[in-house]
Chain A
Amino acid sequence: MMFNDGAAEPQNIFRDNSWWLRVCLFIMFLFATLLRLDEIRAPGHLLDREYTSAIFARAYYFRNNEKVEPWRREIAVTAKNQQPILEPPLLEYLVSLIYRLMGREEIFFARYLTIAFWILGGIFMYLIAKQLLSIDHAVVASAYISLSLWVSSSAGASSPIH
């Protein structure tokens, strides 16, 4: 069953794989990335979730890290154990790997990851709408998810729900 047979209707603005479409999508996703990077150090909207995530990421980063003093490691584990487990802390573990890669702990490193996830999400939104409706609809849908104000400010947060 084809949802969208791919035949371009005359009133469509974009045509599949056209130069104009590629340029628009590139500019849109670039702008969405820059919008988020601009506020990468700003406090998020879900501070409690970000706090919990940061505590988990720190504990994973300190674990088996010879450069960290044992007392700091112990406090990090104690703080982690006091946090509720809401979902499997996969994002926090990935963030701890970034900390290791960068050699230091900065909360905003996590946001690079969530920004990348949101941009990839925008690409999949485009693919879904293109498959179900048309390229024009797909551009609007991915623009909404990438550029709308609430989504872009919320997407800067570094908690797993993003």
Chain B
Amino acid sequence: MMMLFLISLYALVLYFEKPSLRRLLLAAVFTGVTLFLRPLVIYAIFCGFLALSLYQSKNWKKIIDLPLIIFSVVSLLPSLIYYGYGILFADFMRSKVSSSFMPYLLIKKDFWLGWSDLVI
């Protein structure tokens, strides 16, 4: 949901404005709920986290630090459990995997031409 996505981003902004463990966990929990309900926003949220982290540290070598690890673990855990269970054990997500994850497209010329059409 868009609302949860924006709440997660807002929590991230609040954390980077005044970093503390409490704010980091709050952002991670909101992100966890968001990713649980809408996993595809993972790219936008993590790019937001990395962008703010880079803006703060001014050094890309310091991007992978303890806060990123804590944030990743807490925010990804619910989704990994639910979707992992659905894909590997309960089988109710397997059809979703086959229709959503098609890595063979990465080596197809038409795939990239289609993307360039969309962008241009």
Contact = CB atoms under 8 A, between A and B. Distances in A.
B1 interface: yes
A125 interface: yes
A65 to B, nearest CB: 24
Contact of A88 (B18, B82, B95): B82
Chain A contact residues (Cβ within 8 angstroms of B): what range? 20 to 34
Interface in B1-24: 1-3, 5-7, 9-10, 13-14, 16-19
Nearest to A91: B1
B1 A162 contact: yes
A87 to B, nearest CB: 6
Chain B contact residues (Cβ within 8 angstroms of A): what range? 20 to 34
Contacts of A153: none
Contacts of B3: 117-118, 120-121, 124
A85 interface: yes
Given A87-B37, A87-B39, A121 B13 contact: no
B10 A127 contact: yes
Given A87-B37, A88-B82, A124-B6, A161 B56 contact: no
Contacts of B92: 85
A155 B7 CA distance: 17
A41 to B, nearest CB: 22
28 contacts: A1-B18, A3-B17, A85-B93, A85-B96, A86-B96, A87-B37, A87-B38, A87-B39, A88-B36, A88-B37, A118-B2, A121-B2, A124-B3, A124-B6, A124-B7, A125-B6, A127-B10, A128-B13, A131-B14, A131-B17, A132-B13, A145-B2, A155-B2, A160-B1, A160-B37, A160-B38, A161-B38, A162-B1
Given A132-B13, A160-B37, 9 more contacts: A1-B18, A121-B1, A121-B2, A121-B3, A124-B9, A124-B10, A128-B10, A145-B2, A161-B1
Interface of A: 1-3, 84-88, 90-91, 117-118, 120-121, 124-125, 127-128, 131-132, 145, 155, 160-162
